[in-house]
Amino acid sequence: MPDSPTQPAQLVEHFFRHETGRLHGALLRLLGVHNLALAEDVAQEAMLRALRTWSMGGVPPNPSAWITQVAMNLAKDALRHRKMATGKEAALITHHEQTAPTPAGAWDTAQEIRDDALRLMFVCCHPAVAPDAQVVLALKVLCGFSTAEIARAFLATESAIEKQLTRTKKRIAEAGIGFEIPEGADLAARLDGVLAALYLLFNEGYKASSGDRLLREELSNEAIRLTSLLLAHPVGRTPRAHALLALMLLTAARFPSRLDENGALLRLLDQDRSKWDHALIERGLLHLVAAAEGTELSEYHLQAGIAATHCTALDYASTDWARILRHYDELNRLKPSPIVALNRAVVVAHLHGPQAGLEAIAEIPQRDRLDSHYLLHAVTGEMHWRLKDERAAAGCFRRALALAHVGPEQVYLARMLERSEQAG
């Protein structure tokens, strides 16, 4: 690795994002699910020690094993210092020390890592936890999301998310949830939460909620990895899981063309389709075929169908917008939301013109929930521009620019605003 003063900090950040779920899973195997908060604290302390140690002494040959070993030692120390009359913690420590692999080969067992990750997915999504809270918890402890990232994903405040996480961890401790992969009827009750968390993780990579980068491909790749892991196990091999993976692959295939050479956002109309990853498209289509088995129809089926329609169009002009609108109509019926309705309005504008698109936006239920979302104003501005109402377009782009948090989006909106102001 190149020698750089910022390298340890960047590497620790990388591990915190990519290894949070694995590390939490290994810790919960030792500590028990009732000690979820302790596992989080231990993982964070291990990361901080890595930052301090690596900054002074360099990065070790196996950073993953180093962090895991430190975390396990911290966890055992924490258990030793707890004054528990039953002495169970001491027994856990003794068992772990007798059965744990040696440091040289520690944490390299693929099956162990897979099982821990799957267990943690289903712990987060236990039916004793409310559905929204399941996803929030999974994003936090499995995917390494910050509270701010989760708040933006749910259009909520950070304080509200913090309170929800505190309540959820307390509920898990009280419910006595075990660290195992559920079976039978218990599985179905948890699988939807797992899929929802993976979906949001992928979306944060597809379009970051803040920062200088629009794409955070490492997050999307992690979502694809975890979803593939889920499908590799019989408990997760369901049509809707295949549909979700199809959606991820078909969307990720277009990543290479989403930005220009300067990092600016490119609309679908302006993308070079020769840069799309056709191997990913083929994989996505195969999973979409697998998703069609049986009679199940989920939101992931419909969204994957939309992505497939884009990926199989020879060019922008030949896109089957009528088919996409039918998918959005069904999606809006199956799982209505302001964002789905806004996307549907964009398709309406493609088919019936910008005025029809504005009318569809005006009819969005709970549209006020989108007022603080830059996308509503950017889309509205584009439709006003197409109607040659440059003053209204400029007002919308100005509002969108004030609300945008991601660098490439800000650059794009600034260009649109300048164009509108010059034409007005």
Helix residue ranges per DSSP H, 210-353 = 217-232, 239-252, 278-291, 299-312, 321-334, 338-352
Burial of 421 (C-beta count, 10 Å sphere; 0-12/13-18/19+): middle
Does the pLDDT value for residue 274 go beyond 70? yes
Does the pLDDT value for residue 362 go beyond 90? yes
Confidence band of 316 (pLDDT split at 50, 70, 90): very high
Confidence band of 47 (pLDDT split at 50, 70, 90): confident
pLDDT at 209: 54
Most confident of 129-138, 166-175, 190-199, 334-343: 334-343
The mean pLDDT of 114-141, rounded to a whole number, is: 81
pLDDT at 15: 64
pLDDT at 219: 75
Q: How far apart, in whole angstroms, are the C-alpha atoms of residue 43 and residue 142?
A: 12
Q: What is the pLDDT of residues 232-260, one digit of tens each?
A: 888 788 999 999 999 999 999 998 988 88
The mean pLDDT of 49-72, rounded to a whole number, is: 83
The mean pLDDT of 173-180, rounded to a whole number, is: 80
Residue 47, in any domain of the structure: yes
pTM recorded for the entire structure: 0.77
For residue 395, which of 408, 373, 413 has the smallest C-alpha distance?
A: 413
pLDDT at 277: 96
The mean pLDDT of 67-77, rounded to a whole number, is: 86
Residue 50, in any domain of the structure: yes
Contact call for residues 228 and 421 (beta carbons, < 8 A): no
pLDDT at 14: 62
Which residues, 6+ apart, have CB-to-CB distance to 209 below 8 Å? 149, 152, 153, 405, 406
What range defines the domain where residue 44 resides?
A: 1-101
Q: How far apart, in whole angstroms, are the C-alpha atoms of residue 185 and residue 175?
A: 18
Q: What is the pLDDT of residues 97-127, one digit of tens each?
A: 444 444 434 434 445 445 677 788 888 888 8
Most confident of 14-28, 96-110, 192-206, 279-293: 279-293
- Rounded to the nearest integer, the mean pLDDT of the chain is 83
Write down the number of H helices and E strands in the chain: 19, 0
Residue 155, in any domain of the structure: no
Residue 15, in any domain of the structure: yes
Q: How far apart, in whole angstroms, are the C-alpha atoms of residue 55 and residue 288?
A: 46
Of 390 and 52, which is predicted with more confidence? Answer: 390
Of 327 and 185, which is predicted with more confidence? Answer: 327
Residue 263, in any domain of the structure: no
The DSSP 8-state label assigned to residue 113 in this structure reads: H
The mean pLDDT of 38-54, rounded to a whole number, is: 85
Contact call for residues 65 and 103 (beta carbons, < 8 A): yes
pLDDT at 97: 45
What is the per-residue DSSP string for 114-133? HHHHHHHHHHHT-TTS-HHH
Share of the chain above pLDDT 90, in %: 38
**153, two tokens:** 């994903």
Residue 376, in any domain of the structure: no
Q: How far apart, in whole angstroms, are the C-alpha atoms of residue 123 and residue 194?
A: 9
The mean pLDDT of 337-344, rounded to a whole number, is: 95
Residue 295, in any domain of the structure: no
Contact call for residues 2 and 37 (beta carbons, < 8 A): no
Contact call for residues 284 and 309 (beta carbons, < 8 A): no
For residue 300, which of 269, 327, 267, 273 has the smallest C-alpha distance?
A: 327
Confidence band of 85 (pLDDT split at 50, 70, 90): very low
Look at the chain and report how many structural domains it folds into. Answer: 1
Burial of 100 (C-beta count, 10 Å sphere; 0-12/13-18/19+): middle
H or E segment at 358?
helix 354-362
Residue 180, in any domain of the structure: no
Does the pLDDT value for residue 86 go beyond 50? no
